[in-house]
A and B are shown apart, each in its own frame.
Chain A
Amino acid sequence: MSDRAFAVVRAGALTTVQDGGRAGHAHLGVPRSGALDAPAARLVNRLVGNAEGAAVLETTLTGCAVRPRCPVTVAVGGAPCRVTVDGRPAAWGAALAVPAGAVLEAHPAVRGVRSYLAFAGGVAVEPVLGSRSTDLLSGLGPDPLTDGAVLPLGPGCAPPAGGGGPVPWPAPPGELLLRIRLGPRDDWFTAGALRTLATALYRVTSSGNRIGLRTDGPPLERAVHGELASEGMVLGAVQVPPDGRPVVFLADHPTTGGYPVVGVVAEPDLAAAAQAVPGTPVRFLPVRRRRRT
């Protein structure tokens, strides 16, 4: 492998390669994937002068450490964390010049769940169906990072104009407010269940992953008890399994499913969902009118 590469020193709990996702194959059962906190991934790419959809690393809670084999501009963003280069403190949320052979470490998240590491030129693993994203549901794309793995980088880019200095960054949520548009299967639930959904406090559970954000709270009672024939599922769909606890579908969600979807979370709210640690309170806010985003 050429010098345009980096070695994984510490893979962390779960670090994957993610880009804008794998669109256009849902009819074959291929999930969309892509960075869960999409605005954060776009922003770190901008900071290093990449196209917004270039492949980045997405960490989970514990961060990761890498050793580039070439000098490379890097930016760490998303969940706030301590950043070091060869043990010396470096800026989070800003472009950093990392020398060849130095260890860049994104330490565990101080708040939030997922930090993002962008490298100038992008992570250049082989694309599968037009995307470099790891899809944990169906196993497409590169495997999650392992200690000692070496991943290629794309051709270096010019340093970003304007210096790529610190940028405003939304803080991970203390309470998750998810705007939800009811349907398509809200009529499968009782009126009481819909009131519960709009008023009750739910909490993020620790069993969530890239497939879905699981919540605990009062179960939603069904008005229709039959089986729903499998139907297509969208990003942000709030599926209600037999236990009545809402699951918000994230990027690696299955493309079809057989449990009723009571509503769909507005896509701009999903970045905060991706950063909500277990225990975070969740409120669903039904919106009725069409909104331009």
Chain B
Amino acid sequence: MSGALPPGALRVLPVGEHALLVELPGEPETGALHAELLRRRAAGLLPPVREIVPAARTVLLDGLDDPARLAGELARWEIPRPDQRAAGSVEIRVRYDGPDLADVAELWGVTPREAAERHASAGYRVAFCGFAPGFGYLTGLPEEWAVPRRSTPRTAVPAGSVAVAGAYTGVYPRSSPGGWQLIGTTDAVLWDPSREPAALLSPGTTVRFTVAEGP
């Protein structure tokens, strides 16, 4: 297989007058199209576009002069497998001390300590961002370990909380309401507008969580 996605496997939906939503079969294909879009933009092979926004199974292209023309071209693209190294990698040290760790461990049928090690053993990738600046939706937790959201969201989740919902993992960049299960905390600064880049995690970044001991 030469590419991640054969021509014709994507569906292009018009969004208003200046945007396109490209729908893909799944998360890996979405990551592959996103990487290919960034590659083409960097190489000057993409018409001017204001925003490229990957999500779970779509990529939004906003601010296009002629979306219909790009839609026609996209359907013929062959999309290669992404080069994982291109988007960078980050290691995040986590104290697995979250108030929901025991509940998650129970769902998984393991001890809290084993739950921490299990979470840290997976390799993660930022599929997309949203919710708040710098909040990434990380894939990598196997589907069979997916956990439900909390039935009652918390009104204030502390900044640096490491949380899971479904098969996604996320880290809260700042204190905000949230319904994800809190399994740990990190001192990593997820978002700092005075830093370049402001976001620690951007779509495509690969992430490893490591277990930090002690409080």
Q: Any chain B CB within 8 A of the CB of A86?
A: no
Report B-chain residues with C-beta under 8 Å of the C-beta of A264: 15-17, 19
Q: A293 vs B52: C-alpha distance in the bound complex, in angstroms? A: 22
Main SS class of interface, A: loop
* Chain B residues bordering chain A, tally (CB within 8 A): 37
Task: Indicate the member of A25, A140, A257, A265 with the most B CB atoms within 10 Å.
Answer: A25
Check A256–B17 contact: CB distance below 8 A.
no
Instruction: Name the segment of A27-35, A67-75, A99-107, A201-209 touching the other chain.
Output: A27-35
Q: A230 vs B62: C-alpha distance in the bound complex, in angstroms? A: 16
Q: A232 vs B131: C-alpha distance in the bound complex, in angstroms? A: 11
Check A28–B16 contact: CB distance below 8 A.
no
Check B51–A256 contact: CB distance below 8 A.
no
Check A27–B202 contact: CB distance below 8 A.
yes
Instruction: Name the segment of B76-84, B132-140, B153-161 touching the other chain.
Output: B132-140
Report B-chain residues with C-beta under 8 Å of the C-beta of A261: 15
Check A266–B53 contact: CB distance below 8 A.
no
Check A184–B53 contact: CB distance below 8 A.
no
Report A-chain residues with C-beta under 8 Å of the C-beta of B193: 128-129, 140
Main SS class of interface, B: strand
From the candidates B21, B63, B199, B203, name the one contacting A184 in the complex (CB within 8 A).
Answer: B21
The minimal Cβ–Cβ distance linking A229 to chain B, given in whole angstroms, is 4
Check B17–A232 contact: CB distance below 8 A.
no
Q: Any chain A CB within 8 A of the CB of B198?
A: yes
Q: Any chain A CB within 8 A of the CB of B57?
A: yes
Q: A293 vs B65: C-alpha distance in the bound complex, in angstroms? A: 11
Check A181–B128 contact: CB distance below 8 A.
no
The minimal Cβ–Cβ distance linking A24 to chain B, given in whole angstroms, is 6
Q: Any chain A CB within 8 A of the CB of B46?
A: no
Q: A278 vs B40: C-alpha distance in the bound complex, in angstroms? A: 45
Q: Any chain A CB within 8 A of the CB of B50?
A: yes
Check A183–B15 contact: CB distance below 8 A.
yes
The minimal Cβ–Cβ distance linking A258 to chain B, given in whole angstroms, is 9
Report A-chain residues with C-beta under 8 Å of the C-beta of B57: 229, 231
From the candidates A28, A230, A254, name the one contacting B202 in the complex (CB within 8 A).
Answer: A28
Report A-chain residues with C-beta under 8 Å of the C-beta of B74: none
Report A-chain residues with C-beta under 8 Å of the C-beta of B21: 184, 231-232
Check B135–A29 contact: CB distance below 8 A.
yes
Task: Indicate the member of B15, B18, B134 with the most A CB atoms within 10 Å.
Answer: B15
Task: Indicate the member of B14, B51, B135 with the most A CB atoms within 10 Å.
Answer: B51
Q: A254 vs B58: C-alpha distance in the bound complex, in angstroms? A: 16
The minimal Cβ–Cβ distance linking B105 to chain A, given in whole angstroms, is 26
Q: Any chain A CB within 8 A of the CB of B54?
A: yes
Instruction: Decide yes or no: A30 and B133 within 8 Å by CB, A140-B193, A230-B55, A256-B53 being known contacts.
Output: yes
The minimal Cβ–Cβ distance linking B143 to chain A, given in whole angstroms, is 14
Instruction: Decide yes or no: A26 and B55 within 8 Å by CB, A230-B130, A232-B60 being known contacts.
Output: no
From the candidates B55, B134, B135, name the one contacting A229 in the complex (CB within 8 A).
Answer: B55
The minimal Cβ–Cβ distance linking A236 to chain B, given in whole angstroms, is 6
The minimal Cβ–Cβ distance linking B148 to chain A, given in whole angstroms, is 13
Report B-chain residues with C-beta under 8 Å of the C-beta of A88: none
Contact with A along B39-80 (1 / 0, CB 8 A): 000000000001111111111101100001000000000000
Other contacts beyond A27-B203, A184-B14: 9, CB < 8 A: A23-B51, A29-B130, A183-B15, A184-B13, A229-B57, A231-B57, A256-B128, A256-B129, A264-B17
Q: Which residues of B contact A (CB under 8 A)?
A: 13-19, 21, 50-60, 62-63, 68, 128-135, 137, 174, 193, 198-199, 202-203
In the complex, 11 of the A-B residue pairs with CB atoms within 8 angstroms, ordered by the A residue number, are A25-B198, A29-B132, A139-B174, A183-B15, A230-B56, A231-B56, A232-B60, A237-B15, A264-B19, A266-B17, A293-B17
